[in-house]
Amino acid sequence: MSYAADVGITVLIYVMLGVSLNLLVGYTGRVSMAHAIFFGIGGFTAARLTLPPADPAAASSYATVVSGFGWNWLPALAVAAAVAFLGALLISLPAVRLVRGEYLILLTLAFQLLANQLMGLLDWVTGGPYGLSGIPPVELFGWSLRAPERMFGLMLVATAIVVAICWRLGESPFGRLLKGIREHDSAVSSVGKNPVVPELLAFGISAAIAGGVGALAAFYYGSVVPGNYTLDVSILIVSIVVLGGAGNITGTVVAAVVLGLLDPILRRTFGDSAIPWQAVIYGAALVLMMRLRPGGLLPEGAGITRLLPRRQRRAGEHRTPEEALARLARVTKTETAEAETVVEVVGLQKSFGGLTAVNGATFALPAGKVTALIGPNGAGKTTIFNMICGTIPVDAGRVFLRGQDVTGSPAHALVRLGLARSFQDVRVAQRLTALDNVAMAVPGQAGEHIVQLALRPWRVRRQEAATRDRALDCLALLGMAEKAYLLAGDLSYGDQKLIAIARLIATDCDVLLLDEPTSGVDPASVERVVDGIGRLRDLGRTVCLVEHSVHFVQRLADRAVFLDQGAVVAEGTVDELMQSRELADLYFGT
């Protein structure tokens, strides 16, 4: 019985470490090779806090640190998680905005190796290579939980709590935001959400859970040793996430159980000779999984929750564009003066080396109108968009939004002021449904905040229903309601363009910048884009678009600004500009 309980505790530790790392790897898309270090930070912190204070008379007889502060296990557990959280911030603060992909892997790998070496060297803190021993066990109601049979119950409860927390975070609006960051953090910023804070929280929460698990493991085993927190352990945790399925909590649990039981099964079958073969088996399993099922045992979205949208679909898939327009108009139609200038661009200049991309561009966007920026390739149209939105710093000139100087403001700040943009490439989250892509852009979601998720779950649930209903209206406005529950990656490029426009509508911004909304789009989808942008005018939105299709511009634009070599050459209606032979030679006749 004790042996089975001990194996069960090991499996539960793997489960908790796996699901906590999946919150970072699967949902946020950031790979960390240092999870074992946060596991160890929690263990050593809890050990030093709970070990009894030093006995001066006996201190000289010990070669290593054996003293602590005599805390109770529960506050020591909380502090261990907090210290691990702060440790994660130590490496994630410089990493979040500066380091990506393989460089983040290298950064966390370096942290893993450095911290593990320090655990062995700082003997006055960690006890050196032999670690700390004599850690008091957990005591509940006068019962000592050192025995495996007793400790298993507490670990099972802790595992259930950790899995519930990670599932709740991952499948909430906060988790949806993390998934958006995973695929296109610039797109998240373009709909008014600052991607830095959620990413930092994902790092911190993942590490804090690992630290708490490390504390529980220290209380159970009675000792902590640097050799228990090596790179091999971090690789094992990453393997659990990959084998189970990144972004799927259930898959991680399954993989942790499989790998956790593999060690005792091999030992019982082959004895000590099985130890060298464990790494071979783990590696072979990873290679086979990547070859045969790259999404893992249970890929993202697989499981019982996949059945839920089918019930929701019946309520929204037949919503018509006209119905959506009426519903959105009641809530979001803006009241602006006919001649009001919403955006004013004054003397923008930008050079890249010796090339002048924008040369003193000056124009204005009148409220409630569709304005097109047109001109030959290389005229500076997209560069001006990027300068307006703060993506590219300006060399000279200013941008005003309703008279307020917003030059250089980040994209997420501009959205909160009422201006949003799309991109030439669609930048939709391929592994999210069309509905979730759009719902991510709805402002003011309580479920995107950790405290609200924890303290006001009923409000979050009600607001999420309203958010999804609004997102469905935005899709229906573009004739996309019947595809709301399909993965964006399974849709055509034209449909993805429509999703990107619907996402902008969901921001509630009254100024929308559309960068080549019909490029690469099939003719049928072009018609839906035309209809959708026409409905934006009906909603009172101010639209500025960059477009190469003369036919498209003629049908939609109230006015056009002609650019050549980064300067404004002419302004007026499209018909007026087309009558100029000089402009026709530059653009229309090509």
Angle at Cα 291 formed by Cα 287 and Cα 293, nearest 5°? 105
What is the pLDDT confidence band of residue 580, given thresholds at 50, 70 and 90? confident
Number of folded domains that form the chain = 2
Average pLDDT, the chain: 88
Query: 237 lies in a domain?
Result: no
pLDDT beyond 90 at 548: no
- Domain boundary residue, one of 183, 209, 230: 230
Q: What is the residue whose two structure tokens read 């702060």?
A: 86
Separation CA 556–CA 554 (nearest Å) = 6
334 with 206, same domain: the answer is no
Structural domain harbouring 189: 2-56+63-230
Which neighbouring-strand residues pair with 421? 513
Residue 492: φ, ψ to 5°: -70, 165
CATH number at residue 540: 3.40.50.300
- In tens, the pLDDT along 268-313 reads 777 766 667 776 777 787 788 777 788 888 988 876 555 444 444 4
Residues with Cβ within 8 Å of 32's Cβ and at least 6 positions away in sequence, in order, are 21, 24, 25, 104, 108, 203, 206, 234
The backbone region for 421, taken as left when phi is positive above 0, alpha when psi lies in -120 to 50, beta otherwise, is beta
327 with 226, same domain: the answer is no
444 with 546, same domain: the answer is yes
- In tens, the pLDDT along 60-84 reads 445 456 788 999 999 999 999 999 9
344 with 457, same domain: the answer is yes
- Residue 132 is predicted with a pLDDT of 94
- In tens, the pLDDT along 110-135 reads 999 999 999 999 988 999 999 999 99
Query: 83 lies in a domain?
Result: yes
Query: 416 lies in a domain?
Result: yes
396 with 512, same domain: the answer is yes
19 with 133, same domain: the answer is yes
Find the mean pLDDT for residues 333-344: 66
25 with 136, same domain: the answer is yes
Which of 288, 206, 298 is closest to 254 using CA atoms? 298
Which neighbouring-strand residues pair with 374? 562
pLDDT beyond 50 at 431: yes
pLDDT beyond 50 at 590: no
206 with 329, same domain: the answer is no
- Domain boundary residue, one of 230, 259, 286: 230
pLDDT beyond 90 at 266: no
What is the pLDDT confidence band of residue 452, given thresholds at 50, 70 and 90? very high
Query: 306 lies in a domain?
Result: no
- Domain boundary residue, one of 196, 230, 264: 230
- In tens, the pLDDT along 4-19 reads 999 999 999 999 999 9
Query: 248 lies in a domain?
Result: no
218 with 358, same domain: the answer is no
- In tens, the pLDDT along 485-543 reads 999 999 999 899 999 999 999 999 999 999 988 887 888 778 888 888 888 888 889 99
226 with 329, same domain: the answer is no
Query: 286 lies in a domain?
Result: no
- Residue 554 is predicted with a pLDDT of 84
- In tens, the pLDDT along 16-39 reads 999 999 999 999 999 999 999 999
Query: 269 lies in a domain?
Result: no
Which of 286, 206, 283 is closest to 450 using CA atoms? 206
Query: 310 lies in a domain?
Result: no
pLDDT beyond 80 at 190: yes
556 with 449, same domain: the answer is yes
Strands 542-546 and 355-366: unpaired
- In tens, the pLDDT along 373-393 reads 988 888 889 899 999 998 899
Find the mean pLDDT for residues 316-337: 70
